[in-house]
Structure 1
């Protein structure tokens, strides 16, 4: 496509007045087939040879042009990827590339009137889907009360530049660090990091927003509970009351033991039974004699003896 055609195209924008201007937004994804609409459609009685049609990008780059004397010509970057609808002048692009993103203009000129019939501006937003976010959690330090966790969310291969959002239990968080890099194919790779002090189980969600599209991933964070928690000591007043009860009980036990020992009721369970000794007088002899008054008397003599008797 020569420079003369480009200069001639720019000059057409200033020929005459009274043409209608339109603006429209079109969205498409990389690799798809997308049509960019123009501003005029031929009737059954009209002929294509009565018009000149120009498609240009950002007012400086010619995409496609139709001139009756030359036919349809296409810029080399769009060759084999663009088709002009000769009825409504729609520009079809397939497959769509990231570099196709931008502002386009369709200009229709009537040859017999030597003026611009209409012009339409089209904002073409190209989108490339990001990969599903990959969320990882690394425990840096932990204690019985909390765990220090570094969360990383990454995604790649998308367009345009996304907005990376994070939420902990549905509450937005602010990233500690984020990095967006652009590849040689104009696609974006994203990495974001968040430092988190985790005290209980929680749900974390990382999402990417771009051109009206959203992709997200959620991760359940579990607080490790592998610490041995020692029971709390009882309050001071409980210890004091318990001590008083124990002291009173010991004093009562001591008094009871003393009372029982004095009255002979205390016995030792673990002691050997001591046999009781019972002493009795044992008769040894009987003597029969007569007193002075002439009476007979029987007299016995005995000696004391002792024998063991079990109690």
Structure 2
């Protein structure tokens, strides 16, 4: 029982040492995995590191080196210092370092994307070979998308809003990337279409969005690839070339207007009748006096008869 207090610190120390070794192993493993991924862009020159380096006391003649892709396709192979195999697709595009055994590819193509493996064998005098290493390395090939292009097409228009079809497109990128849109810095969700000949070909992307624009807004389209983003913005304007519909007058106004029109028409009718009668009365009186004068003139004179009778007596 007296030994327990002394044993406890020793046990705790062992646990801490074990935990430290685990953490150190994880860190070293993560560092190793990080070194085995190489990134490159289409058209660049890239070097894939091998898992072994030939010491200065030896030469390539003492080794057999195989660089293969997907463990089935031999890219480049050397034996006793001589090139013994080279893939047709990598013709005039690959070289290997004679010391560090690095595989150089130039220019990089989309089809070069994928896992590679460097297998190193050491040749002995007995012609037996010993495999020194066969660790893989992954080549991650990317291609930059073009700067996004935004187009807007008006589909319908009214005084309240303008309906638009907004499209954003970009081409020539690899692999598939994130494409996003925003209205006045507020994210929107749209339909995205990817077009590519195969999984190892350049991509073209188009995003489409239907909008009801009630005021002028700024639309931004962004595409992110390999940690870098390209953006384009366009001002979407609400069109103002519309005519507001005429508002019908109230019922009371219509009724009052109708009464005024009817009274006005009656007044005109009565005035016309009065004027016609007044003109007719003035025109008829002179005609009657003329006729009476004619009749008086046609009567025989009374004084002529009297004188005749007097003369006969």
- Is this a same-fold pair by TM over 0.5? yes
| Aligned partners of 1:31 and 1:97 also within 8 Å | yes
What is the total number of aligned residue pairs between the two structures?
Answer: 212
Shift of 1:34: 0.9
TM-score, reference length from structure 2: 0.62
Secondary structure in 2 matching 1:116: strand
**Following superposition, which runs of at least 4 residues in structure 1 exceed 6 angstroms of deviation?**
none
Matches within 5 A, 1:160-309: 160-175=175-190, 177-183=191-197, 186-227=201-242
Q: Within 2, Cα distance between the matches of 1:121 and 1:201?
A: 55
Q: Within 1, Cα distance between the matches of 2:117 and 2:185?
A: 43
| Pairing 1:146–2:161 present | yes
Partner of 2:137: 122
| Aligned partners of 1:22 and 1:120 also within 8 Å | no
Structure with greater strand percent = 1
Q: Which moved more, 1:107-116 or 1:58-67?
A: 107-116
Partner of 2:101: 89
| Aligned partners of 2:62 and 2:81 also within 8 Å | no
Matches within 5 A, 1:21-100: 23=33, 24-68=36-80, 70-100=82-112
CA offsets 1:101-159 (integer angstroms, 9 cap, x no match): 11111121222373221233211111122221110011111222211111001111221
Secondary structure in 1 matching 2:39: strand
Secondary structure in 1 matching 2:61: helix
Structure with greater helix percent = 2
Q: Within 1, Cα distance between the matches of 2:102 and 2:194?
A: 35
In structure 2, do the counterparts of structure 1 residues 136 and 66 end up closer, same or farther at CA, with 3 Å as the change threshold? same
Shift of 1:229: 6.9
Q: Within 2, Cα distance between the matches of 1:198 and 1:128?
A: 35
Q: Within 2, Cα distance between the matches of 1:55 and 1:228?
A: 74
Shift of 1:36: 0.9
Partner of 2:148: 133
Say what the alpha-carbon RMSD is for the aligned residues: 2.6
In structure 2, do the counterparts of structure 1 residues 138 and 171 end up closer, same or farther at CA, with 3 Å as the change threshold? same
| Aligned partners of 2:143 and 2:172 also within 8 Å | yes
User: Which blocks of at least 5 consecutive residues in structure 2 are unaligned?
Assistant: 1-28, 248-313
